[in-house]
Structure 1
Amino acid sequence: MKFTQIKEICLYISDLDLAEDFYGDTLEMPMISKVSGRHIFFRCGTSVLLCFIPEVTAKETSLPAHYAKGKQHIAFEVNKKDYLQTKSKLLAKGINITHEQGWRDNLQSFYFEDPFGHVLEIVPKGIWEY
């Protein structure tokens, strides 16, 4: 099998409006779809971030039931030239960076949390390329 990418990824949240404010406004991801009481979806580059209310999708009947609890993790990739600007922009928006990590080839990433406690990371393009 030769997969080309992860097309969708899910986070499980408790408040659609809070997710819309954070992912749509703060992180500037265009909203694709919002269904009251169920989900909100965002465009993230060529991928899609799905945010579901887990109490609803755990009881799903038209699709396989799915849900998660606890601190989930997603890393968002930016071009190397945009890494510092992205960091500065998030800091200016009041985002608290919880950790900075050094990787091979002098690459850096940084971590922060969304309003639901999920651990988000900004990584420069190339961090997983060997």
Structure 2
Amino acid sequence: MIQKIKETCLYVSDLDKTQNFYHNVLELPIISRKEDAFIFFRAGSDVLLCFMNEYAASQEHLPAHFANGNIHFAFEAKVEDYQLWKNKIKEAGIEITHEQEWKNNLMSFYFEDPNKHVLEIVSEGIWDE
């Protein structure tokens, strides 16, 4: 049985803006950075890989991979931290584009990163049965 998705991969156009957003705003620790190539972040026990599109598409030692368009993924936060994260995003001047109520009164909200990827912060328990 597969246990979980370990990595999420995004393709970005500016490593400095990406670092500022994910490290300074979302507080993800940096694992590694290579100029004009990638920056990797720790997200709990998972990893967020951010590649420059040109770099990822030109790889020869690994399968070349890249994507275009707005990719969506979600971060999970404890229910008691949901409002804290919502406030933090607003205070950073980032527009919340949608807020959704799910089962059991659990909430999530959507916003964009500097590369226009659609991010979501979900309350813990949304996907639990």
| TM-score of the pair, normalised by structure 1 | 0.96
- In the alignment, what sits opposite 1:96? 95
Structure 2 unmatched runs, 5+: none
Query: Structure 1 vs Structure 2: percent identity of aligned residues?
Result: 53
Q: Which residue of 1 aligns with 2:38?
A: 39
Following superposition, the deviation at residue 92 of structure 1 comes to 1.3
Q: Secondary structure of the residue that 2:32 maps to in structure 1?
A: strand
The count of aligned residue pairs is 129
Please name the residue that 2:23 is paired with: 24
Q: Quote how far apart the aligned CAs of 1:104 are.
A: 1.2
Greater Cα offset, 81-90 or 66-75: 81-90
1:129 Cα deviation (Å)? Answer: 0.6
Partner of 1:60: 59
Structure 1 counterpart SS, 2:54:
helix
Rounded Cα–Cα distance in structure 1 between residues aligned with 2:53 and 2:79: 35
Shift, 1:68, TM fit:
0.4
What are structure 1's unaligned runs of at least 5 residues?
Answer: none
Query: Which amino acid letter does the alignment assign opposite residue 92 of structure 1?
Result: E
**Structure 2 Cα separation of the partners of residues 64 and 109 of structure 1:** 34
SS at match of 1:94: coil
- SS of the equivalent of 1:41 reads strand
| Aligned counterparts of 1:26 and 1:61: Cα–Cα separation in 2 | 34
Structure 2 residue identity aligned to 1:31: I
- C-alpha offsets along residues 56-90 of structure 1, whole Å, 9 cap, x if unaligned? 11111010110000000110001111111111111
Q: Distance in 1 between matches of 2:15 and 2:91?
A: 24
Poorly superposed stretches of 4+, deviation over 3 Å: none
Letter in 2 for 1:34: R
RMSD: 0.8
Separation in 2, partners of 1:78, 1:4: 20
Calculate the TM-score normalised by the size of structure 2: 0.97
